[in-house]
Amino acid sequence: MAQDYENAIIKTVKIVLPAVVSIAVAKEEKVIEEEIFSRIFRAPGYAPIYPEDIESEIKKAPHDEKGRVQLGGGSGFLVSEDGLVLTNKHVVMDANASYSVMASDGKSYEAVVLARDPINDIAILKIPAKNLPAVKLGSSENIELGQTVVAIGNALGQFQNSVSTGIVSGLSRLITATTDFSGHQERLRGLIQTDAAINPGNSGGPLVALNGKAVGINSAIVFGAQNIGFAIPIERAKQALEEIKKYGRIRRPFLGIRYLILNPGLKARFHLPLEKGALIVNEGVPGDEAVIAGSPAEKAGLKEFDVIVSCNQKPITEKETLEDILSEFQVGDKISIRVLRQGKEFDAEFILQEFKSV
């Protein structure tokens, strides 16, 4: 029995590993110098620094064959024979950087970032190659607690061919993750929790079931915690891939409000009659509108301090937020909501528009 289990894991790794790739990040020296000076001069009370000192340090850094400074990287995996690659958005977040993909056979390709998902930690790259091995995409909707999964990565350096095993230990998790070296944070929802080790080596790589199909994208670890890793459900990546094929970009639905998810504390703070729902409010950030001009929310007549109680008859709670519910819909879908305004409830309808990143 134990031997069968071990053989199943080995077979899975052999199926998937050829399609797992390394993603290298590089940048021109001049661009790095400009960015460093820009940050220094914006900082209050900055210490004097000289261009030759910066140039000297940049020259010491490792460079690629094109003379660009190497800045690290991560893993990804091929999902089509013609070179589509899935990875984490945070791996390829820098729009001023260049990205190359090294396949399992050692060949390196310059990559184009086709899309960065505005909501999920997902990005899609394209490399100019054909007849490549590809990971088959399974379903994250049918995975179960206790199910065995394998996290695979192939980051350059000490983390090449990284494999770890574990079980699905939680579903629909919500975390706040640091997604780049600047400390930028994002709230990631609906994640698969696993005790398979997620590390810099396999982040961006596939989380795979024992049938050899990807059920998630390894995405985040909780620093300071043991045996806690997270992956983005593969259904979200499948949806993103379909958007790329149809529209050439990832489209995400947009309502056009800023809101807080209510709880007992916010109920008391805003003197509201209920403690569940989405309170439309701008918390004093200059330039931010509670209801964005021209948005579906404005067209539907929503106002600041309205409370959205439910969306398509689903109650809005801390566990299932408005964002969670809207993520199930597509651009162009018609949505109905229940709204509380000054003690009276009414229904409103709107058509979801495409999210436009600023």
Active site residue 38: no
Structure tokens given for 30? 């001049």
Q: How far is CA 256 from the centre of its chain?
A: 21
Helix (H) / strand (E) containing 7: helix 2-16
Non-local (6+) Cβ contacts of 225 within 8 A are: none
For residues 49-80, one letter each, b for 16 or more C-beta atoms within 10 angstroms of the residue's C-beta and e for the rest, the string is eeeeebeeebeeeeebeeebbbbebbbbbbbe
Q: From the candidates 203, 306, 310, 324, which is the catalytic residue?
A: 203
Q: From the candidates 90, 162, 306, 324, which is the catalytic residue?
A: 90
Return the amino acid letter for 185: Q
Q: From the candidates 117, 121, 306, 324, which is the catalytic residue?
A: 121
Which of 260, 190, 264, 270 lies closest to 230 in space, CA to CA?
A: 190
DSSP letter at 80 equals S
CB of 232 closer than 8 Å to CB of 120: yes
Active site residue 80: no
Active site residue 94: no
Q: Which residues are catalytic?
A: 90, 121, 203
